Structure 1
Amino acid sequence: MGEDRLFIVFLVVAVVVLLTRALAGRLRVPDAILLVLLGMAAGFVPALPEVVVPPDLVLFGFLPPLVYHAAFFTAPREARADIVPIVTLAFGLTTVTTVAVAGTVHALLPGLGWAAALAFGAAVSPTDPVAATSVMQRLGAPPRMVTILEGESLINDGAALTIFGLAAEALGSGFTPAEGAGRVVQVVAGGVAYGLVLGIVIRRVRRSIRDPVSQIIVSLVTPYLAFIPAENLGASGVLATVVAGFSIGTHGEGVLQPASRLVGNAFWQILTFLLESALFVLLGLEIREVLHEPGGHTWGEVALTTLAVSAVVIGVRLLWQLGSGRLASAVPGGRRSQEGLGWRQRTVIGLGGMRGAISLAIALSLPAAVGPERGLLVLLTALVVLITLIGQAPLLPVLLRRLGLIESERRRREAMIARKAVLQAALARLDEMAEEDEVDEQTAEAFRQMTEVRLDRLRYFLDREGTGEGARPPNTRHVRSELVRAQRAKLDSLYRKGRIGAETQREIGRELDFEDPVALRKPRA
C-alpha cells in the first residue's frame, strides 16, 4: 500500500471513528455496529483505494496489546473465586463451539477443508465482553456475572488463538493427530512458561522506574516482548501475553507509582479503543472487495451459512450455560462455585456472548493458504459479529430487568461504605502523624477538616438510607461540573490579564481536570 493510499485509509478510519463517537451515544447502540457499517459505507466511495489488510499486521500488530490489556486489568480475587465457571466456559465451550462451527461450515461449504473450517471456527468462538459488560455495569447487574464474562473472554482468547494457530499450521504443512497432540503441549506449556518468566522480569524492571513516561514505554513494549519471541520459539504468543499481563497486573499496585497509574490507565484506554475501532473499520473497508464475488458462492449460500453459524454460536453457548452446572460440579470445588448461579444468571451469561474485535482480528489474520475462500470467511465473521451484536445486545437490558438482576442500589451503597472506610483510615493516619510530630497541629487540622467534610456527607446519606428516608443521594455531577467550569473560567481570565503564567495555568488546569466529573468519564469501548 503506497504512502498516499495509506494516508487516505488512515483519514477514513479517523473520520469513521469520530462519526461513530458522535452517533453511538445518541442512537444508544454499541460502537462496533456503527464502526463496521460506516466502514462498509466508506468502502463504496469511488476514490477510496482497495483495502487488503495484511494478516501479519493484525496478528503481530493489533492482537498483542489488546490481549495484554485485557489480562492486565483482570480482577484477580474475583477471577480466582469463579475460576471453575470461567475455565469451563473458556476452554470447554470454546472448543465445543469451534468444532460445532467447523462442522457446520464444512457441511454447507464442501469445498472448504477441515483445517480452514477449524480456523474459522476458532475465529468466531471467542467472546468479546465489551458490549455485554458495558450494558451490565451501566444498569447495575451483579458484579459476579460481569467478572465471569470478562474472565471467560480473557482465557477463551488464548484458547481460540491456540486452536487457530494449530489449524493455520495444518493448512501449510499438515501433521498427524499424534503430532498435533505434541504441538498442543509444546504450544501451551511453552507459552505459559515464557509468559511467567517474562512477567517476573518486567515486574523487576518496572519497580526500578519512577518516570511515568518510561513506565508507559515499558508497558507498550511488554506485549510484543511476550508475543513475538514466543511465536518464534514455537509456543503460543497469546498465552505468553495473557500470562505475562495477568502476572504483572496482579502486582500492579506494588510496581506502579500513582502518577504512572493515572497516565498509564488513560494511555491504555485510548490505545485499546483506537485499535479496536481501527479493526472494525478496516474490516468494513475490506468487505467491499468480498461483496463483488464472495468466494464464488451465491448470496443465498452466504445468507444460509451466516444464519447457520450464528445459530450455532448462540445456541451452543446458551445450551452449554444452562446445562454446564453438572459438568462444573464434577470438578473439585466446582459444586460450591455454582452456588448463586441459577437459571436467571445462566440465561443472561449465555446470551451475553457477543463477538467482537478479537474475532475480527483472527479472521483478518487468516493465511493466504486458505485459498479463494479466505474472503468469504472474513465476510462471514463480520456478519456473525454484527448479528450477535445487533441481536443480543438490545436483549440484555430487557432480560436484566425482567429477571430482577439489577443491583445498582447495592453497588452504590457498597461504594459509599468503601469511601467511608478509606477516609476514616486517612483520619487515623493523620492523628498518628500529629502525635508523632511529623506534622504541625495547624496543618493537621486543615487536612482533618477537609477529610471530615467528605466523611460527614457519606455518613449523612448512609444514615438516611438506614432509616429508610432518603433514598438516593442527589445527582451532584452537574453541580460539580459547573463549579469546575467557573474555576476554569477564572483561571483563564487570570492568564489573559497577565496575573499568572502559562505554566501555572496548565498546572492548576490539570488539577481541575481531575475534579471534573465529565472529564473523568471513561470513553465508551
Structure 2
Amino acid sequence: MSAYHIIFFILIGFIVFAIDRKKEYFPVPVILLLVGIILSFIPYFSDVKLTEKMIFHWFLPALLFISAYQFPLRDLKKYYRTFIILSTVGMLLTAFALSVMIYGLVGIGLSISFLSALLISSILTPTDPVSVVNILKTSTNKDQLADVVEGESMLNDGTSIVLFTVVAGIFSQQKSFSVLSFLGEFLLVSLGGVAIGAIFGFILSKIIFWLNHREYQVMVSIVLAYGSFLLAEHFGVSGVLATVVAGFMLSYEIKNYSEQDQYRDYLDGFWQNINPVIISILFIVMGIEAFNLIKIEHFGWMVAIFVLSLIARELVLLIIFKVVPNLKKNFKSKDVHLITWSGIKGTVSVALLLMFKDKYSGSDHELILSLTIGAIILSMIIQSLSIYPLTQKEYKGSNE
C-alpha cells in the first residue's frame, strides 16, 4: 500500500464524512466498505493488502483508545457489571449456541465439523459499534442503549480474541483442549491485560499532567494508546483490554485534575481529528481485501450463518436481560432486539479472520474463510444500513 493509496483513501473518507453531516441516514464505515469493494475490481488497487498485524498494530489501538477515553465515566460506573457479563458469559454462550446452530444446519449441506463451526463462531462473536453508536444516540431517547452496545464491544474484543486463539490452536492441532486450561488462560490473558493497562495508564497520565506543552501531552497520549497495547502483547496478555483500560485511566485522571477542561479539549481535538482518518483507511482497505476471499457459490450459506448469528445473539441476550435483575428493570424486549441488531461484526472479526488465514491451517480452511467473511460483510451492510429506520420505527416519539 503506497502513499498515493493512503492519500486517495483519506480523500474518499473526507467526501463521505462531509456528505454524512447529520450522522443519521447512512453509517460512514459501511459506505467506505462498499467503496473498497468497488475499488477491488480496479487493477491499480491490486497491491493494496490488509493483514492482521496492520489491524492490530496500526488501527485497532487508536480506535479502542478513542472509544475508551471518550466513554463517559458515570456510565462506566453504572453499567460495568453489564459490560462484564455480556463480554464474558454472554460472549461464550453466544459462541457456543452459534456453533451448535451452524453445525446442525449449515453442516448438513457443507459437511463441516463442529470444530470448524466453533471456529467460525469465535470469529463472529466480537461486535463493532463504530457504525451505529452515533445513530443510536441521535435516533432514540435512551442513551443507555448506545452505552451498553459500545461498552460491551470494548471489552468483548479482548475476551473474544482469547476464545479464538484457543479454538484456532485446537483446529490446527497445535494444542489439546481442556476446560480448566482454557479458563485459566482466559483469566490470565484478560486480567493481565487489565493490570498492564491500569499501571501503564496511571503512570503516563501523571506524566501528561506534569508536561506544560500541549504538543508533548498529545505525544504521550499516543505512546499510551499504542504502548499499552504492544507492552501487553509482548507479555502474552490482552493488548485490547490493556488499551481500553489505559484509555479509562487517562479519562479518570483528567477528571480528578483541577484544569481538566484545558487538557481534555486539546486531547479531544487531536483524537477526534485522527479518528475519521483511521476509519477511512481501514474500512476502504477492508473492503478491498475482504471481497477477494469470498466464493460466490457459498452465498446462500453465508446468508444462513448471518441469520443464525442474529438468532444466537438474540436468544442469549434475552436470557441474560431476563435473569439479571438490574437489566430486567431497565431494559424492555424492544431494547434487547435493538441491542441484538446493533451487534455488528467488524474490525476485530476481520482481524481474526486474517490471522486464521495467515497463521493456521487445517481442513475446511478455504471454506471457513469464504463463509465467515461473507457473514461479516452481510452483517456490516444489512445491520448498519437498517439501524436508523429501525430506531425510527421503534423509538420515534417515545419518551421512555
- TM-score (norm: length of structure 2): 0.85
Aligned to 2:358: 368
The change in CA–CA distance for 1:385 and 1:269 in structure 2 (over 3 A counts) is: farther
Report the alpha carbon displacement of residue 24 of structure 1 after superposing the two structures with TM: 4.6
The change in CA–CA distance for 1:118 and 1:15 in structure 2 (over 3 A counts) is: farther
Aligned to 1:492: none
Aligned to 2:149: 149
Structure 2: distance between partners of 1:204 and 1:80: 22
Q: After the TM superposition, which residues 477-496 of structure 1 pair with which residues of structure 2 at under 5 Å, given as runs?
A: none
Structure 1: distance between partners of 2:352 and 2:94: 15
Structure 2: distance between partners of 1:394 and 1:49: 28
SS at match of 1:173: coil
Contact 2:100 2:114 in 1 (8 A): no
Aligned to 2:2: 6
Deviations 1:247-284 (A, max 9, x none): 22222223575343222112212323222222211122
Aligned to 1:284: 287
Is 1:354 matched up with 2:344? yes
Is 1:313 matched up with 2:300? no
Q: After the TM superposition, which residues 290-301 of structure 1 pair with which residues of structure 2 at under 5 Å, given as runs?
A: 290-291=293-294, 294=295, 299-300=296-297
The change in CA–CA distance for 1:358 and 1:266 in structure 2 (over 3 A counts) is: farther
Aligned to 1:247: 249
Bigger Rg, structure 1 or 2: 1
The change in CA–CA distance for 1:63 and 1:257 in structure 2 (over 3 A counts) is: same
Report the alpha carbon displacement of residue 221 of structure 1 after superposing the two structures with TM: 1.0
Which letter does structure 2 place at the counterpart of 1:383?
G
Is 1:17 matched up with 2:13? yes
Report the alpha carbon displacement of residue 84 of structure 1 after superposing the two structures with TM: 3.7
SS at match of 1:82: helix
Which letter does structure 2 place at the counterpart of 1:39?
G
Aligned to 2:374: 383
Which structure 2 residue ranges, 5 or more long, are not aligned?
none
Report the alpha carbon displacement of residue 379 of structure 1 after superposing the two structures with TM: 5.0
Report the alpha carbon displacement of residue 14 of structure 1 after superposing the two structures with TM: 2.8
Structure 1: distance between partners of 2:128 and 2:282: 13
Match of 1:273 among 273, 276, 280: 276
Q: Which has the bigger relative contact order, CA under 8 A and spacing at least 6?
A: 2
Q: After the TM superposition, which residues 198-237 of structure 1 pair with which residues of structure 2 at under 5 Å, given as runs?
A: 198-237=200-239
Contact 1:279 1:360 in 2 (8 A): no
Contact 1:59 1:362 in 2 (8 A): no
Q: Which deviates more, 125-134 or 142-151?
A: 125-134
Structure 2: distance between partners of 1:151 and 1:52: 30
SS at match of 1:313: helix
Report the alpha carbon displacement of residue 208 of structure 1 after superposing the two structures with TM: 0.8
SS at match of 1:290: coil
The change in CA–CA distance for 1:90 and 1:385 in structure 2 (over 3 A counts) is: same
Aligned to 1:447: none
Match of 2:35 among 34, 38, 43: 38
Deviations 1:285-330 (A, max 9, x none): 2235435xx4xxxx33x213311221122112222333323331xx
Is 1:189 matched up with 2:195? no
Report the alpha carbon displacement of residue 39 of structure 1 after superposing the two structures with TM: 0.8
Report the alpha carbon displacement of residue 357 of structure 1 after superposing the two structures with TM: 2.9
Query: In percent, how many aligned pairs have the same letter?
Result: 23
Structure 2: distance between partners of 1:70 and 1:227: 14
Structure 2: distance between partners of 1:212 and 1:12: 30
Q: After the TM superposition, which residues 385-464 of structure 1 pair with which residues of structure 2 at under 5 Å, given as runs?
A: 385-404=376-395, 406=397
SS at match of 2:49: coil
Contact 2:10 2:280 in 1 (8 A): no
The change in CA–CA distance for 1:44 and 1:102 in structure 2 (over 3 A counts) is: same
Deviations 1:47-70 (A, max 9, x none): 333333232222222222222222
Report the alpha carbon displacement of residue 212 of structure 1 after superposing the two structures with TM: 1.2
Which structure 1 residue ranges, 5 or more long, are not aligned?
329-334, 411-525
SS at match of 1:93: helix
